[in-house]
């Protein structure tokens, strides 16, 4: 039984690790994508450089924007980082933890909150592209969020808890207890991960072409440190999504104590899992074209139905 302080410290450490590593993951995906397309690509630390550059710049704001607009980037980042703190990265929590940190429903809710804040901010600035991006992003969110909940519930029913950390710990101790619903939930999560990380075929992270962008459209009015916050939040959200998939479906190699060897192993396992999923993202991005927007619901619909089936198969 660990104390509340130790648990809080552990949670903070994991969140810090996720935030620190998030731009690196984006860099790795971009690098692999470039390699798959036979380009050399930018260095994997390029996202850090971009962030540093943005932080040095000044802020310009639209005349129509309210003071709330200034608060949006910080709030988005805060919500996303809080979500990051919910995930088991290195440690598997013990049963009966002191603080209920790690509820999956809260995690999904925080991600939705970040999405909502971003959309509100984009509308607040009054730009046409911001409004369009927000509308599209919320359309996608409408399909992604319930599906995410269903997939998580499917795993939660099997694990008997909605705490992501406990789920990972319990499933990890069952070896790889893979059943049919897990497989369907995994497929659903992989489809949803593409949408949540804003990647092809749902969104294109590299484009600023007005007709095709979803997420980038909402960022147009932001600048300087504010933009840096949002970009960092985007990186973190991507890693949170991947870590969620890893925690639910590949719950292996989590440390139980604080021994350095165990921690090193856990870190290596986490890196391997994220690398695997990042490779998946890079592969999909390179081999598919972006869907026309009205085809996106069809694509996400498959994810939604898969998630629904995963839950239905578990219950029936």
Partner 1 sequence: MFLSVDLATRLIDVLGALLLFTMLLILASGQLFRAIYAVAAQAAFLGVAGAVLAAATGNVDLWIIAAITIGAKAIFLPWLLLRVVRRVQISREIEAVIPMHVTLALAAAIVVLAFHLNASLGPVRQAITGNALPVGVTLILIGVLVMASRRKALVQMVGLFASENGIFFTAMAISQGMPLIIEIGVILDVVLGALVMGILVLRVRSSVDADIADLESLKG
Longest distance between any two alpha carbons in the chain, whole Å: 58
Q: Is 283 in the site for partner 1 (CB under 8 A)?
A: no
Q: Is 153 in the site for partner 1 (CB under 8 A)?
A: no
Q: Hey, what are 12's tokens?
A: 């903070």
Rg of the chain over Cα atoms, rounded to whole angstroms, equals 19
- How many residues touch partner 1 under the rule CB under 8 A: the total is 21
Is 153 or 308 the residue whose CB approaches partner 1 more closely? 308
Among 56, 64, 208, 301, binds partner 1 (CB under 8 A): 301
Q: Choose the stretch contacting partner 1; rule: CB under 8 A; options: 54-62, 117-125, 172-180, 266-274.
A: 172-180
How many beta carbons lie within 10 A of that of residue 106, not counting itself? 18
Q: Choose the stretch contacting partner 1; rule: CB under 8 A; options: 5-13, 203-211, 246-254, 307-315.
A: 307-315
Contact 247, 87 (CB under 8 A): yes
Contact 216, 234 (CB under 8 A): no
Q: Where are the alpha helices (DSSP H) in the chain?
A: 4-36, 46-56, 68-85, 104-125, 128-159, 164-173, 180-196, 215-219, 224-249, 260-287, 296-315
Among 151, 184, 269, 282, binds partner 1 (CB under 8 A): 184
Q: Choose the stretch contacting partner 1; rule: CB under 8 A; options: 27-35, 62-70, 75-83, 293-301.
A: 293-301
Q: Is 158 in the site for partner 1 (CB under 8 A)?
A: no
Q: Is 187 in the site for partner 1 (CB under 8 A)?
A: yes
- C-beta of 7: minimal distance to partner 1 in Å? 35
Q: Is 295 in the site for partner 1 (CB under 8 A)?
A: yes
Burial of 133 (0-12, 13-18, 19+ CB in 10 A): buried
How many beta carbons lie within 10 A of that of residue 100, not counting itself? 10
- What does the alpha-carbon distance between residue 32 and residue 205 come to, in Å, rounded to a whole number? 15
Q: Is 297 in the site for partner 1 (CB under 8 A)?
A: yes
Q: Is 305 in the site for partner 1 (CB under 8 A)?
A: yes
Q: Which residue has the tokens 């996202």?
A: 47
Q: Choose the stretch contacting partner 1; rule: CB under 8 A; options: 39-47, 126-134, 174-182, 235-243.
A: 174-182
Among 12, 60, 142, 180, binds partner 1 (CB under 8 A): 180
Q: What long-range pairs does 153-161 form, CB within 8 A, spacing at least 24?
A: 153/311, 154/181, 154/182, 154/184, 154/185, 154/307, 154/310, 154/311, 154/313, 154/314, 155/182, 155/185, 155/248, 155/249, 156/104, 157/311, 157/314, 157/315, 158/182, 158/314
- C-beta of 180: minimal distance to partner 1 in Å? 4
Is 77 or 143 the residue whose CB approaches partner 1 more closely? 143
How many beta carbons lie within 10 A of that of residue 4, not counting itself? 11
Is 29 or 306 the residue whose CB approaches partner 1 more closely? 306
Is 45 or 176 the residue whose CB approaches partner 1 more closely? 176
Is 131 or 297 the residue whose CB approaches partner 1 more closely? 297
Q: Hey, what are 37's tokens?
A: 């397309």
Q: Choose the stretch contacting partner 1; rule: CB under 8 A; options: 45-53, 71-79, 273-281, 296-304.
A: 296-304
Among 179, 258, 259, 271, binds partner 1 (CB under 8 A): 179
- C-beta of 291: minimal distance to partner 1 in Å? 8
Which residues contribute to the site for partner 1 (CB under 8 A)?
178-181, 183-184, 187, 295, 297-299, 301-302, 304-306, 308-309, 312-313, 316
């Amino acid at each position: 039984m660990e104390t509340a302080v130790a648990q809080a410290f552990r949670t903070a450490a994991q969140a810090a690790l996720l935030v620190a590593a998030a731009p690196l993951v984006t860099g790795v995906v971009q690098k692999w994508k470039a390699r798959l397309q036979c380009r050399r690509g930018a260095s994997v630390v390029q996202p850090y450089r971009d962030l540093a550059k943005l932080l040095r710049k000044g802020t310009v704001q639209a005349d129509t924007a309210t003071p709330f607009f200034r608060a949006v980037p910080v709030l988005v980042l805060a919500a996303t980082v809080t979500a990051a703190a919910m995930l088991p990265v290195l440690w598997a929590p013990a049963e009966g933890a002191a603080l209920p940190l790690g509820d999956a429903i809260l995690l999904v809710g925080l991600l939705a909150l970040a999405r909502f804040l971003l959309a509100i901010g984009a509308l607040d600035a009054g730009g046409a592209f911001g409004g369009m991006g927000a509308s599209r992003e919320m359309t996608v969110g409408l399909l992604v969020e319930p599906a995410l909940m269903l997939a998580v519930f499917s795993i939660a029913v099997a694990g008997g808890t909605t705490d992501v950390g406990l789920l990972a710990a319990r499933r990890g101790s069952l070896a790889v207890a893979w059943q049919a619903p897990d497989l369907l939930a995994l497929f659903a999560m992989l489809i949803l991960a593409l949408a949540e990380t804003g990647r092809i075929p749902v969104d294109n992270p590299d484009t600023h072409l007005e007709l095709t962008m979803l997420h980038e459209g909402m960022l147009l009015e932001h600048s300087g440190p504010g933009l840096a916050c949002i970009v960092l939040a985007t990186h973190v959200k991507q890693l949170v999504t991947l870590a969620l998939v890893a925690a639910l479906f590949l719950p292996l190699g989590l440390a139980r104590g604080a021994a350095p060897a165990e921690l090193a192993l856990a870190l290596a396992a986490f890196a391997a899992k994220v690398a695997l999923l990042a490779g998946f993202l890079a592969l999909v991005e390179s081999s598919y074209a972006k869907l026309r927007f009205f085809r996106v619901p069809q694509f996400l619909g498959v994810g939604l139905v898969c998630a629904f089936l995963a839950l239905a198969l578990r219950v029936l």
